[in-house]
Structure 1
Amino acid sequence: MEKRILGKTNEEISIIGLDLEKLFKNHVSQDIKLYLEKSIINGVNFFEISPRIELVDETLVFPLNLHRDKLFISGRVYSKNRDEILEDIIYMLKIFNLQHLDLIQIVVNSDEMAQTIFAPEGALEAILQAKSQGLINYIGFSTYKEKIALSLLESYNFDVITFPIDWVNWYTGYGRKTVIKAKEKEAAIVSSQSLTKKVSRANTEKHISDLLYVSSDSYREVELTIRFSLTRPITSILCSAKINLIEWLIQAADRFSPLEPEDEEKLRKSCEEIVKVFNPEKILKGDI
């Protein structure tokens, strides 16, 4: 599988990364272990863990431990106070039997959470302490809100940003400013993907259209999704999905080639009906 340099870190990571939180939540232990082994054999070296993972079987971490020197393992924390962040980092290291995390990502999806990062006894203070102790190497954040992404990129010299770069958002103007600002700040971009698509349906009772999120249901859909994202200036796609979809994802990554202009145009046109469900002006401002 292709690997790309993760911005100014000079680390090489696979163009596909796996978010293990949902994987551990949605599947039985034996399936998880086998799939981790299969993913690593197929070239995936980027994994993200979370303090919300409850490890019911210690053997599940064996594939990660066995290949640790070849892997890039990120930890996700939710914006809290200093002591809670440190507890979460130590917890992740303990249950996954790790000496350090390559990257820590702060999840920030509200203005209030963003403000607490830089406050005294806040998340950044905890993370800098953990870094000074050799528990983490790099610092990033994850958000799906462009306003917050732009503000955080301006406020601190982050190594990595995780943000949804997908064709529906892109063709409606959402995410472009984030990519420009991240490049300006030399922060690597990871695209968060759940391999879901937005579908509108008529709601005759309310006389409006509802917007539904459903899983991609074909290999072709998955392939187009990742080809679009990887054609943008990103390093990797961090995927949270069920095993059957991730298998398609890895297969598509192995066959990756940049999206052709005619495919770009098809995706752009397919957005036209979806956009009618939204207020286009609001989308362009980045507030969905």
Structure 2
Amino acid sequence: MERRNFLKQGAFTAAAAASAKLSAAATPTNSIARRPLGKTGEHLSMIGFGGVVVMNEDTGHSRNIVAEAVDRGVNYFDVAPSYGNAQERLGPALAPYRKNCFLACKTEGRTKHESRKQLEESLRQLKTDHVDLYQFHALTKMTDLDEVMRPGGAMETMEAAKKEGKIRYIGFSVHSAETALAAMDRYNFDTVLFPVNFVLFSQANFGPQILKRAQEKGMGILALKAMAKTVWPADQKKSHPEPKCWYQPAAFPDEASLGLRWTLGHPVTAALPPGEERYFRLAMDVAQHYKPLEQHEERALLTRATGVEPIFHLGNDV
């Protein structure tokens, strides 16, 4: 990233830090602070519970980790049909707290028929009559965006389901800056879920342009990959020590904590940590005692990012 752009981004960080201090001041110190979600009027915990955390876990453990998260102040839960049996595990575990939680789900369906089928199945597995936020999952290519927006596309399901009361807000997740910008130009989405990460911003200039456009539109900004670092080495892609992370996370615990604090220092509502439980627990610890990065901490973190291979690049459909 050019120095002038990085300094500009630093201004975003400072402004968000001031906002975070205000929101945290109004929240008990033992509870994770909440931030506004764009123009929706909702307030979400600054750390979200990614459904992958309970994927492949037994029902008892799933109930326990969900209960602990709620007790520590988490009210934002996010899941998708592609996360193995996560919906099946999350639904019953979340049921006792559902009325006080914000539940986000996704669809990979690109047509009206496919997305409607996924929505109804998600509602069944999640033991609920509605989801608060329904998102197009991974609008990676422009062809994905074109397909959901055309007649007979999945947007028709979204708008119909909103009228039916089965969803409340419409958003999308994305790993392509180009597609994200195009999507925001073509529809008045409520939220965007995308990577906000120290390596991606500093080494690939990936993310600042999405953040800027979303702010201009008053959208809710949800962050992925805050604790990510780089790609796995070729000899570890199929066998590595973090089975719920397709990317190599930042070093546990110090670098991961700094990376998360860096992300939370930007104007985001919430960050979704990796699905590995120890990273999720670390994220809750960081959020409960959140402090914006000091300048020397940010310099040290960005020094560690220098020359690191980012997990995404501008102009790549991945």
TM-score relative to the length of structure 1: 0.87
How do residues 73-92 of structure 1 correspond to structure 2 at under 5 angstroms?
A: 73-92=103-122
Quote the residue 2:213 is aligned against.
181
More strand per residue? 1
Q: C-alpha offsets along residues 105-157 of structure 1, whole Å, 9 cap, x if unaligned?
A: 10111222111111111011110000010100000000111111111011111
Distance 2:58 2:231 in 1: 30
Q: What residue identity is the alignment partner of 2:172? A: F
Which of 43, 62, 84 is equivalent to 2:73?
43
Residues 79 and 113 in structure 1, CA contact (< 8 A), matched pair in contact too: no
Is the counterpart of residue 237 in structure 1 residue 271 in structure 2?
A: yes
Partner secondary structure for residue 170 of structure 2: strand
Residues 146 and 55 of structure 1: CA distance in aligned 2, closer, same or farther (over 3 Å): closer
| 1:126-145 correspondence runs (5 A) | 126-145=157-176
89 and 260 in structure 1: CA distance in 2 versus 1, 3 angstrom threshold: same
Matching of residues 64-103 of structure 1 within 5 Å: 64-103=94-133
Tell me by how many angstroms 1:59 deviates: 7.6
Q: Compute the displacement of 1:283 (Å).
A: 4.5
Counterpart secondary structure, 1:224: helix
Q: CA deviation at 1:232?
A: 0.5
SS in 1 for 2:306: helix
Show structure 2 runs of 5+ residues with no match. 1-31, 236-245
| Aligned counterpart in structure 2 of residue 159 of structure 1, from 162, 182, 190 | 190
| Aligned partner (choices 13, 38, 42) of residue 7 of structure 1 | 38
Separation (CA, whole Å) in 2 of partners of 1:106 and 1:239: 20
Question: Are the structure 2 counterparts of residues 95 and 287 from structure 1 closer, same or farther at C-alpha, using a change threshold of 3 Å?
Answer: closer
Alignment match, 1:198: 230
Residue 199 of structure 1 contacts residue 274 of structure 1 at CA under 8 Å; is this kept in 2?
no
Change beyond 3 A, Cα 1:213–1:103: closer
Distance 1:17 1:147 in 2: 26
Aligned length: 275
**Residues 86/170 of structure 1: CA separation in 2 closer, same or farther (3 Å cut):** same
SS of structure 1 residue aligned to 2:307: helix
Task: Let me know the Cα RMSD of the aligned residues.
Answer: 2.6
Distance in 1 (alpha carbons) for counterparts of 2:65 and 2:102: 17
